[in-house]
Structure 1
Amino acid sequence: MNPSNRQTTRRLLGLAVAAVTCPLQAEALAQAPQERALPTVEVVGTMPVPGTELPRDQIPSNVQTADDVQLRRAQSLNLPDFMSSQLPGVSVNEIQGNPFQLDVNYRGFTASPLLGTPQGLSVYQDGVRINEPFGDVVNWDLIPKAAISSITLLPGSNPLFGLNTLGGALSLQTKRGDTHPGTELELQAGSFGRVGTELTHGRKLGEDGHLFLALGGLNEHGWRDDSPSRVRQLFAKVGQDRGRLSWDLSFTHGDNTLVGNGLLPESMLLQDRRQVYTRPDRTENRMSMLTLNASYQVSELQTLSMTAYTRRSRYATLNGDLNNAFAPPEVEASALENRTHTRQQGEGVALQSTLSAGIHRFTFGASVDRARTHFMQTEAGGFLDATRAVVPQEEAEVDALLAGKSRTASLYVHDLVMLRPDLQLSLSGRYNDTRVTTRDEGRAQLGLPTQLDSEGRYRKFNPAAGLTWQATPQLTAYGGWSQGNRAPSPIELGCSDPLNPCLLPNAMQSDPPLKQVVSQTFETGLRGTLAPGLRWNASVFRTVNKDDLLFVSSGLSRGYFSNFGRTLRQGVELGLGQKGERLDWSLSYSYLRARYDSPACLVSESNSSAETSPACTGEGEIAVRRGDRLPGLPAHQLKLNVDWRVTPAWSVGAQYRAYSRQNVRGNENGAQVPDGIAFNGSGHLGGYALLDLTTNWKLGPHFELFAKVANVFNRRYASAGQLGRNGFDASGALALPAAWVNEQFVAPGAPRGVWVGVRMQLGA
């Protein structure tokens, strides 16, 4: 280990030890002999296939959990909104400008709906990995919020969760009719023209069956100009627990239209925060998924489980963009209308056996997943009207037409060894064999000048090991090491040539081979209780990515995928919280140092340091040094959540979160220096803090009123940014190409919003 790395690790360990020693000493001094109630044992799902759970204190990582009660109490719009306010270490970037299209960051890794964002988190719903096969993206709008029963965030490069688990895995479980009975209708309305409704119904079927239904809908016109959204979600589950056999069959469907008009130059932001750069930027997502989960108890010592699914989806985008190649006076060719159409179908099955034998608890599993994708992109020239909307003047021409296939076969094993009643050893490993194929149908059928045929095979065995020690009933220590990998997706293989950058989302060119990403995580920490209901935790972590896949930008939307070398994420997580009869509260602090661990040359023409380094002489290149920070990730996070039950019928809550400054994309080397003429923008975003307030009032056994005020102090902030070339003046008028300037674009955060609603129990 490098001496500087050892020194940094010692500092992080010192912080964690110091944070927990004082509270433990205080507890020892204050402790007096008294009768204590038996502690509640919290169990956590630790496998993709549902049904395999372990006590939280036997998991060698800082696992986080939440349930539907907390989700309702926070009155969050969707899952990313909830995670950003409630889960320590989680932040969001609003790059797309739509509340359903957020980048979710955890420990420096991202799950995003946007192609071009390096993906590093796996997301599972009822045992099905819902990262899309075409680019590993996650469409948060297709997750039915009303059906979520529990949320588990497992950190680290956990190999048991398969591909894309570089920094963590998010596992979602949905509701059942026997655990969530009754019929409930929820109506909500308020700021930004938002009107939402949810209808749920749960019941038992006979002696051993259950049924659950959830419908969700939302319409809003958005707080920025021309930014409407429409969300429709459906979920249904039916199942049975008969003797040793349990099964459930669920159906998830989404049909959504989202408009997110993206980043805005700071000069235009000062004039009017609501305006947009160019438009439209519309995404249409339509998906249906059928999932079967079953388990059979062979004996008291062995259980067999399975998950099988089939998934069909259609995605379409419409993007109005400024034509960087137009020349005056050809204003009628100043814009481009880019459309994409993606059709995907996938299916998979996983089989698993859990067996207890002496001090061992073995889990063996195997899975196969495959997906097929058909993709088309078209382009039509046009001009911008007075509202900067693209008016096409030409017939659309096909730029890319291709088919992609991916298939992953995996074998995995986990062994929990009870070395002593208070000491457990966890050993696991997973072997992944992935094939990715891209076929250029445009060249074969339409004679396009593209070269997109490719085929790659990626094989990797990823191990993990960890120890947990219950030193006392009030204190647990743990430590572990894990490894994960991610294979390039068809979009990355088809967009990896720096000489032919892609227009995202989604034009593709020739494809030099890419390596798979391999991540290794070390984590150690302490957790425990100080008093009844008062829990604390402290952990340090370090993750190294080798051959990291990054999208190298060569403009606001153009770029290519490339293996980078090494990146490093390390940090500290501290937490303290208590649940009482009338007051629940939690306080958390996270420190993250996410940096490049290898030197490189990246393209960023709008950075003032471009083409100034003797080490990077290419057009528009900047020199990134080892130690430079990864963009879009605040180093410090502080979160405070309070819920106070003033009376049995009335409660109020507060959610406070604060983030430190961050570098914007394009300023990966941190060397941007604005001169006010050729280069504008500091290259970073200032820190910000937000406060939300909520309240609930039960009017009776069947009616409940609730309200939320978001961004109470109406803070003006930006959660993401990028250096780029601005083709408009401050008022939004198109400038001649010679007058275009390098400027900082930002993702402005939403202003204060107020929503009120009513929840009605319609049946027992």
Structure 2
Amino acid sequence: MPANPSTHATAIALAVALLIARPAVAQEDTGAPIGDSAVLPEVMVVAAAPLPGIGVDSDLVPYTVQTVRGDDLGGSRAGNLPDYLARNLAGVNVNDIQGSPFQTDITYRGFRASSIPGVPQGLSVYLDGIRVNEPFGDVVSWDMIPEAALESVSLVSSANPAYGLNTLGGALAMTTRSGLGSPGFKADLSYGSGNRKRADLSGGVRSAEGWHAFAAGTLFQEQGWRDHSEGRLGSLFVKAGHAGDADSWDVSLLHGRSNLIGNGLLPSVRASGNATLPGLYESNPRAVYTYPDQTRNQVTQVALNGRHWFDDKTSAAALAYVRTSRRDTTNGDVNPDYANYAEDCEDGFLADGSPRSARCGFTRAEGAALPPAIVNTTHMWQQTVGMALSLAKETESHVMNAGLSLDRSRLTYSQYQQPGTFTDDRGAVADPDAPNALFSGVSGTSRTLGLYLSDTWSVTRSTFLTASARWNHVAVSNTLRNSDGSEQPNESFTYGRLNPALGLAQKLGAGVTVFGGYAQNNRVPTVLELGCADPQQPCRLPAGLQADPYLKQVVSHSYEAGVRWRPSKDTDVSATLYRIDNHDDILFLRAPNTQQGYFANFDRTRNQGLDLTVRQQLGSVTLRLAYSYLQATYQATGQLAVGERTINIRPGMRMAGLPTHTVKLGADWQALPGLTLGADLVAVSGSVTSGNEDGLRSDPQPGKAPKAADWGTPGYATVNLRAAYQVNKHFEIYARVANVFDRRYETYGQIANDMFPNGNLLQPHVAPADSASALFVAPGAPRSFWLGVTYRI
């Protein structure tokens, strides 16, 4: 069911009111464990793993950690978490493929944490030590992150084995607030372009005896800047517990619901012979190709945390949780049979290159009998139950962290299809007289056991060696369902691997530290990938499960070296070189003699590059620079399936959707007491379009020269402004402007079949030449304004 904003508003108001009703003890020591209080405030401490432990000075670790405080994620600084990461953190980019602010495709050093099923995921995401990559496809539901409750967000680089499965390129670890560190009440209300309305409420209390409670909630609603792109969500996070001299515990509840519409890519240009014709995007960038494209998410998570300090240097922690999620989608698309029929008639040849069949000469009346639209609906239910134990010990020369995690997941997934027709504005309407037939489905379980150990050893007063290792054991069991409802034989797979890491940090004096290291990690195939892994039974993305033969696990080998220079509190510079080789990567390849594909292991891919960050404080002005250089390439041969295209991969070929250069500049100026002005610029170089990796716009036809085209998405730069004025100690007003110069730009491109040239449905028997060769793009948002107010007590 869609989220009910009034219901969430009532729940959030009641939770916050209960917290405020208790007297808060402002700025009073609540008896937090002395191991935590020993940390010097000027030292940035990073966790060795997502589970509770003893942190390490960020200057001593042999990898990169970028940390964001929760207060920076709201108000004038950002629209939401993905937006902030994209505008401020080095190595991070966003492909706005879905067109919804909470359904983004985030990449870090070329590895993805995406809400899109079927996309190869290479980043692990944690919330208070709980892995929130969903079991079905390792997808991340950004709309279910309780942003109003976040205390910190850390982006950890490399294939750090302590962060568990799927940490091929890095990990995003988020922690939530509590009444201990966030007493008082805060309300952040904003309104802006696209009729976007957002309310973030939070409140915390603590007592002298160590009891504490915290609640935070978010309500969001917008019409969106594109047609048919409204969305809304609501989330509530509540935490309560007790902290004593040696023991602490808390219990938390997260519940969220959303109803989001992301209308995806839009045709920009299409080929017609040797010319190109403008597409729907050129005439109306706010349009949508087909609709609806609706996703309804619901997540409920309950967690219990406890920690005991044996002394001021030794602690043990435990975590237990249950996380249940449901995702229902409705997508209106062109009927694949209808689209294939048009493609078969292209240039007088069938898709397989044989001469045109008599089918291409059918009459309009016969063509009308073929349903042009299909309405796909999916229903997914997932539940994960897990527990974890961790031990931490600090000695004169060592900081050691060890842990164990055990997770068990269950899921069911079903996809249905119902033929239909299109409205004049390309809306797919199901035929009420046609059956809503089961297309495919799966039910399955997975069990994951992880054991890790990490040690940072102070070899000398200036030399620090960090070694870690993790053993992962995963058992996956799936049962696929056919379109007639029958079940295929159950398939079970077991994966195990020991991943090591070793690195060194050396202080050279004058604030300079050099570091370097090697790390290894692995990713096991997801249910989605295993369910479409047979070239004899191919499928179409994003779903259509057919068979589940064995796939190898992906193994990444990460090398990283860099330098940090921190001569004073006003200057911070870091530069990092990295190379990550992925063996047995899992890609969607073309099945022989068909326009469908299947997931298969690909020998090797490589992500390598440079990240540079600079922060400089000049009196009342803070300047920031983040530059990233990325080479993401295939390192073997194969045939990649992208829509209607088959790409012959060769070593050194660039991956799609990943810019080579990204520059982020930011400035904040304390212009007057209480008045802060800020600006940032994000400049991104051009990216290879998916389906154009080989420089061709369509597959070669027998007896014809290949049709070359450079259809990559061009580079772009956007400027954003912000201002905040502190009226008094309680009230702050702020404004934010995105894309100040109203730059038209595209964040992603893909070649596909444009069945709506000029916005009108293509009739199969009049298919123009090159109908399948169209460049679809993900439009960037135009100039947008937001105004807000923050109230604190």
Match of 1:314 among 294, 317, 326: 326
Aligned-partner Cα distance in 2 for 1:99–1:692: 16
Aligned to 1:22: none
Deviations 1:282-326 (Å, cap 9, x if unpaired)? 000000001222211112332101222110111101011101313
8 A contact 2:698–2:772 mirrored in 1: no
Q: Measure the CA separation in 2 of the matches of 1:70 and 1:630.
A: 32
Task: Give 1:209-358 correspondences, 5 Å limit.
Answer: 209-266=211-268, 267-326=279-338, 328-330=366-368, 333-358=371-396
Matched, 1:625 2:653: no
* Preserved contact between residue 429 and residue 461 of structure 1 (Cα < 8 Å): yes
CA positional deviation for 1:531: 4.2
TM-aligned CA deviation for residue 400 of structure 1: 1.9
Q: CA offsets per residue over residues 87-119 of structure 1, 9 Å max, x none?
A: 011000011111111110001100001011110
Alpha-carbon distance change, 381 to 73 in structure 1, aligned in 2, over 3 angstroms: closer
d(CA) in 2 for partners of 1:706 and 1:339? Answer: 41
Please give the per-residue CA displacement for 1:501-550, whole angstroms capped at 9, x wherever unaligned: 33333221112211100001000110012444111011100000000012
Q: Distance in 2 between matches of 1:83 and 1:557?
A: 37
1:708 aligns with 2:733: no
Amino acid at match of 2:141: N
**Residue aligning to 1:582:** 620
Find the aligned partners of 2:235 and 2:711 in 1 and give their Cα distance: 39
Q: Please say which of residues 451-460 and 196-205 is displaced more in the overlay.
A: 451-460
Inter-partner Cα distance in structure 2 for 1:54 and 1:74:
31
Q: 1:417 aligns with which of 457, 467, 478?
A: 457
CA distance in 1, matches of 2:528, 2:633: 25
Kindly indicate whether residue 508 of structure 2 is the aligned counterpart of residue 490 of structure 1: no
Deviations 1:600-623 (A, max 9, x none): 12234755xxxxxxxxxxxxx332
- What corresponds to 1:55 in structure 2? 57
2:122 counterpart letter in structure 1: G
Q: Note if contact 2:218-2:234 (Cα within 8 Å) is conserved in structure 1.
A: yes
Letter in 1 for 2:43: V
Give the one of 198, 201, 207 matched to 1:199.
Answer: 201
- Shift, 1:451, TM fit: 4.0
| Structure 1 position 454 matched with structure 2 position 485 | no
Match of 1:9 in 2: none
What is the aligned counterpart of 2:608 among 570, 580, 584? 570
What letter is aligned with 2:684? Y
Q: Which moved more, 1:317-326 or 1:63-72?
A: 63-72
- Is it true that 1:151 corresponds to 2:153 in the alignment? yes
The one-letter code sitting in structure 2 at the alignment partner of 1:492 is E
Distance 2:239 2:643 in 1: 52
- Aligned-partner Cα distance in 1 for 2:707–2:258: 39
Greater alpha carbon shift after TM alignment, 234-243 vs 677-686: 677-686
Task: Provide the aligned C-alpha RMSD in A.
Answer: 2.2
Partner amino acid, structure 1, of 2:723: T
Instruction: Output the CA distance in 1 between the equivalents of 2:618 and 2:206.
Output: 32
Decide which of 462, 477, 483 is 2:514's aligned counterpart: 477
Residue type at the aligned position of 1:696: A
Alpha-carbon distance change, 239 to 605 in structure 1, aligned in 2, over 3 angstroms: closer
Q: Structure 2 CA distance, aligned partners of 1:51 and 1:366?
A: 12
Give the structure-2-normalised TM-score: 0.86
Once the two structures are superposed, what CA deviation does each residue of 1:365-410 show, in whole Å capped at 9, x if it has no partner?
1110110001111111111111211111112011223211111111
CA distance 1:89–1:301, change in 2 (3 Å): same
| 2:7 match | none
Q: Return the alpha-carbon distance in structure 2 between the equivalents of residues 361 and 183 of structure 1.
A: 37
Residue equivalent to 1:727? 755
1:189 counterpart (176, 188, 191)? 191
Q: Distance in 2 between matches of 1:147 and 1:716?
A: 34
Preserved contact between residue 332 and residue 383 of structure 1 (Cα < 8 Å): no
**Which residue of 1 is the match for residue 720 of structure 2?**
692
Which of 737, 745, 770 lines up with 1:717 in the alignment?
Answer: 745
Stretch deviating more after TM superposition (463-472 or 324-333): 324-333
From 581, 591, 607, the equivalent of 1:544 is: 581
Q: How does 1:27-176 map to 2 (within 5 A)?
A: 40-72=42-74, 74-176=76-178
Alpha-carbon separation, structure 2, partners of 1:669 and 1:397: 38
| Gaps in structure 2 of 5+ consecutive residues | 1-39, 269-278, 342-365
Helix, strand or coil: the match of 1:654?
A: strand
Q: 1:543 is aligned with what amino acid?
A: I
Greater CA drift, 651-660 or 723-732:
723-732
Contact 1:414 1:426 in 2 (8 A): yes
Aligned positions, number: 708
Return closer, same or farther for 1:194/1:725 CA change in 2, 3 Å cut-off: same
1:660 aligns with 2:690: no
Contact 1:524 1:539 in 2 (8 A): yes
**1:105–1:111 CA contact under 8 A, matched in 2:** yes
Q: 1:74 to 1:453 in 2, by over 3 A?
A: farther
Residue in 1 that maps onto 2:436: 396
Q: Which moved more, 1:158-167 or 1:728-737?
A: 728-737
Instruction: Report the 3-state secondary structure (helix = DSSP H, G, I; strand = E; otherwise coil) of the residue aligned with 2:74.
Output: helix
SS at match of 1:504: coil
Q: Which moved more, 1:242-251 or 1:513-522?
A: 242-251
Distance (whole Å) between structure 1 residues aligned to residue 499 and residue 515 of structure 2:
20
2:599 to 553, 561, 584: 561
Query: What is the CA-CA distance between 1:671 and the residue it aligns to?
Result: 4.2
Post-superposition offset of 1:672: 4.2
Q: Equivalent residues in 2 for 1:635-646 (5 A)?
A: 635-646=660-671
d(CA) in 2 for partners of 1:452, 1:200: 50
Work out which of the residue numbers 596, 601, 605 in structure 1 matches 2:634: 596
Structure 1 residue 452, shift from structure 2 partner = 6.8
Counterpart residue type for residue 255 of structure 1 = R
- Say if 1:630 and 1:592 are closer, same or farther in 2 by CA, change over 3 A: same
Contact 2:588/2:641 (8 A) holds in 1: no
What are the ranges of 5 or more consecutive residues in structure 1 without an aligned counterpart? 1-37, 608-620
**Alpha-carbon separation, structure 1, partners of 2:254 and 2:412:** 22
Asked if 1:427 corresponds to 2:470, the answer is: no
**What's the offset of the Cα at 1:51?**
3.9
Q: How far apart are residue 485 of structure 1 and its match?
A: 0.1
Moved more, 213-222 or 737-746: 737-746
Q: Does the CA-based 8 Å contact 1:422-1:470 persist in structure 2?
A: yes
Bigger relative contact order, structure 1 or 2 (CA pairs below 8 A, ≥6 apart) = 2
Please give the alpha-carbon distance, in whole angstroms, between the structure 1 residues aligned to 2:177 and 2:680.
26
- Give the direction of change, closer, same or farther, for the CA distance of 1:681–1:101 in structure 2 (3 Å limit): farther
Matched, 1:383 2:436: no
Residue 632 of structure 1 aligns to a residue whose secondary structure is: coil
**What's the TM-score, normalizing by structure 1?**
0.89
**What secondary structure does 2:143 align onto?**
helix
| Helix, strand or coil at the partner of 1:730 | helix
Preserved CA contact (<8 Å) 1:353 1:363: yes
In the aligned structure 2, how far is the partner of 1:220 from the partner of 1:39? Answer: 40
Q: Deviations over 1:144-185 (max 9, x none)?
A: 111111111110000001100000001001111121121122
2-structure distance, mates of 1:660, 1:538: 20
The 1-side partners of 2:137 and 2:131 are apart by 13
Partner of 1:747: 778
SS in 2 for 1:509: coil
Q: Which amino acid aligns with 1:109?
A: F
AA matched with 2:720: D
Alpha-carbon separation, structure 2, partners of 1:89 and 1:556: 37
